[in-house]
Every structure is written in structure tokens, then in C-alpha cells.
Amino acid sequence: MNFKANPMKQDEAKVRALEILDGFLEQNKHRKTSERYAILDAVAAMRDNFTLEELGRKLMNDLRFPVSRGTLYNTLNLFVKLRIVMRHRILNVTSYEFCRNEGRSIKMVCSTCGKVSLMKSQVIDNTIDTLHMKRFKCDSYALYLYGICSTCQAKMTRTKKKDN
């Protein structure tokens, strides 16, 4: 079964991820199993951060392609190594994020619930543009800020009030 859909219809980040995966599998003479491509399809379809369980459900329900937990785990590890996905570990929850090349992005990660929000900053853009980088031409960046989102802050305030 060939799981690669027409690349013209896919977004740029997915095309890039497919190239990385193809290149790796060819170079290392690994079989191009349909599981790996189905998992990549599901990963690219995830809008936010996701857990291994959520990805498994997406494969099962949306793509009708059930994959064992072990295969999911190994494939996600491979994707992390190839920088197709980023792994976040917040409290005791491991979540994954598909690396879309957003150019210049600042991500605010809630260290309580794991929610990721994007922000832009002209000041940081300018700072990066004026940084002196030795033998390096920077074309994009991703900056992760860790803290507590407003929903979690509100929950904490409510819990505190109850305790008093």
C-alpha cells in the first residue's frame, strides 16, 4: 500500500518531512513500510501538541490505520531523531509536536497543561537580525518560553481560594 498522497496538495512542512524520511530510509536501506508514512500523515494532520495515545486514536479513527503502541513509539523516536517532531516532557506527560517551519516563531509552553501558544515579537526578530553569528547564516528560529497559561493560573487561584 502506498500511503504517499499527491505532494502538491500537502503543505511544505510535510513535503520536507517526507524528503527527510525517504532519504533516511534509503540511506540506511530500511524498508519503506506503509506504517511509517501513515504515522507521518497523522503527525502532519495534528494541529496542536499530541500524546502517543492521541496519535494512535487519530490513525485508528481518521485514517483507519491501526498501529501498535510499540510501532508508534519506535516511529516517534525515529521522527524525533530526524527532527520531524519535537518531544516535550512536561510534568509526567510526554507530548510531541510536528516541526512546521514557521520561520520565526516564539512558542509559549504551559508547564502545567502543555498547551502551546504562538506569539510574534518585532524586538526579538530585530535582535536576531543584528546578532553576530560566526560562520552561520540564520534563516529561521524557534524560541520556547516555559510558564503557566492563563487557564491554569485561574485554576490555581480558584484552588487557593477554596483552601482558605
Collapsing DSSP states into helix, strand and coil, what is residue 141? Answer: strand
Of these, 106, 142, 152, 155, which contacts Zn ion (CB under 5 A)? 152
Within 10 A of 109 (CB to CB), how many other CB atoms are there?
19
Q: Count residues contacting Zn ion (CB under 5 A)?
A: 6
Q: Which of 113, 124, 128, 142 binds Zn ion (CB under 5 A)?
A: 113
H helix runs in the chain, sequence order: 12-27, 34-45, 52-61, 69-81, 122-130, 150-163
Question: Rule CB under 5 A: is residue 116 a binding residue for Zn ion?
Answer: no
Task: Single out the segment in contact with Zn ion by CB under 5 A; choices: 11-19, 71-79, 102-110, 117-125.
Answer: 102-110
Measure the CA–CA gap between 50 and 48, rounded to whole angstroms: 6
CB of 149 to Zn ion, least distance (A): 3
Q: C-alpha cell of 74?
A: 519506535
From the CB of 150, what's the least distance to Zn ion, in Å? 8
Count the Cβ atoms, other than its own, within 10 Å of residue 124: 14
By CB under 5 A, name the one of 34, 46, 112, 142 that touches Zn ion.
112
Site for Zn ion contains 128 (CB under 5 A): no
Residues forming the site for Zn ion (CB under 5 A): 110, 112-113, 115, 149, 152
